[in-house]
Structure 1
Amino acid sequence: MSAELELQGAINTRLRADVPLTALVNKRVYDQPPASPTFPYVTIGEAQTIQDDAECVTGEKVYLTLHAWSQAVGYPEVKRIAAAVKDSLHLAPLVLPSYRLVSILHRQARTFRDADNVTSHSVIELVASVHKPL
């Protein structure tokens, strides 16, 4: 299994168990949301993996994007969700089946209104460093 897929599984498990986040989204954390989702919710989005080997270790940097969605008036709800995602994942001690997580760091979050002029959307970016055990 790839580091990216193992991270996705660990992130999904952690976010669904995170009490402050579930208080906001009620365990609505999706890879692919349903056709007519209940708001608010979080989606696991895009990822990019870059090989990052050193002399004695096989490693990868995995850049991950998560999305928070809300249809509450204004930005407060979606910003609280984005902050809860950040708080749950920044420096989290995630356990992966076949890789060793060195670190997972929050890089940034951007919040904006979607084209429907109703949905508030936060894009949360993380970077993880993983090593493949020898």
Structure 2
Amino acid sequence: MIEAKLRADQVLTAMIDGRIFDRVPAKPDYPLVTIGNMQVIPESADGVDAAETAVTIHVWDQFKQVDKSRQVGGAVINLLHDEQLQTVSSGTQSVLLESASYLRDPDGVTNHAVLTFSILTDANAL
């Protein structure tokens, strides 16, 4: 559902030329987005069966003249933060931005945005 939401946005897909992956390719073109780790934390109380899923999205760019990782990261945040995503199996899922970090990788060339989102959902749908 996250990938579909990102791919559906014409502005974002134009910024990254549709480059959304589950891991960084061996010889990538930049900028690009990867959908990284997920952690599911069950939340069962008072008869409510729910879960919080933490999803990490990475934005990668190689510095040329402008750091596009910040621009692309901002576009991803605008698309996902405070959104209600619909799924067939679990209905509405609330998405909230937990943190955003913008880093320069040790190679001195690669810029890296790390965006962590929290998704509140029905645990039975996972």
Aligned AA for 2:38?
A
Scaled by the length of structure 2, what TM-score is found?
0.89
Give the aligned length.
125
User: How far off is 1:93 after superposition?
Assistant: 2.6
Say if 2:45 is the partner of 1:54: yes
Identity of counterpart residues, as a percentage?
34
Scaled by the length of structure 1, what TM-score is found?
0.84
Q: Is the 8 A contact 2:42 2:123 kept in 1?
A: no
Determine the C-alpha separation between the residues in 1 that align with 2:123 and 2:69: 35
Structure 1, residues 25-79: CA drift from partner, whole Å, max 9, x if none? 0111111232111110000011111001232321000011100000133663110
Q: Is the 8 A contact 1:16 1:28 kept in 2?
A: no
Q: Is the 8 A contact 2:85 2:93 kept in 1?
A: no
Structure 1, residues 66-96: CA drift from partner, whole Å, max 9, x if none? 0000013366311001100101111223122
User: How far off is 1:17 after superposition?
Assistant: 1.2
Determine the C-alpha separation between the residues in 2 that align with 1:120 and 1:58: 39
* Secondary structure of 1:88 counterpart: helix
Determine the C-alpha separation between the residues in 2 that align with 1:107 and 1:74: 29
Query: Among residues 52, 73, 78, which one is paired with 1:87 in the alignment?
Result: 78
Determine the C-alpha separation between the residues in 2 that align with 1:56 and 1:75: 51
Q: Is the 8 A contact 2:61 2:67 kept in 1?
A: no
* Secondary structure of 1:22 counterpart: helix
Structure 1, residues 92-128: CA drift from partner, whole Å, max 9, x if none? 2312232233411011210111121100000001001
Q: CA RMSD in A?
A: 1.9
Higher strand share: 2
Structure 1: tracts of 5 or more residues without a match: 1-9
Where does 1:33-48 land on structure 2 (aligned, <5 Å)? 33-48=24-39
Determine the C-alpha separation between the residues in 1 that align with 2:86 and 2:98: 21
* Secondary structure of 2:85 counterpart: coil
Structure 2: tracts of 5 or more residues without a match: none
Q: Which runs of 4+ in 1 moved over 6 A?
A: none
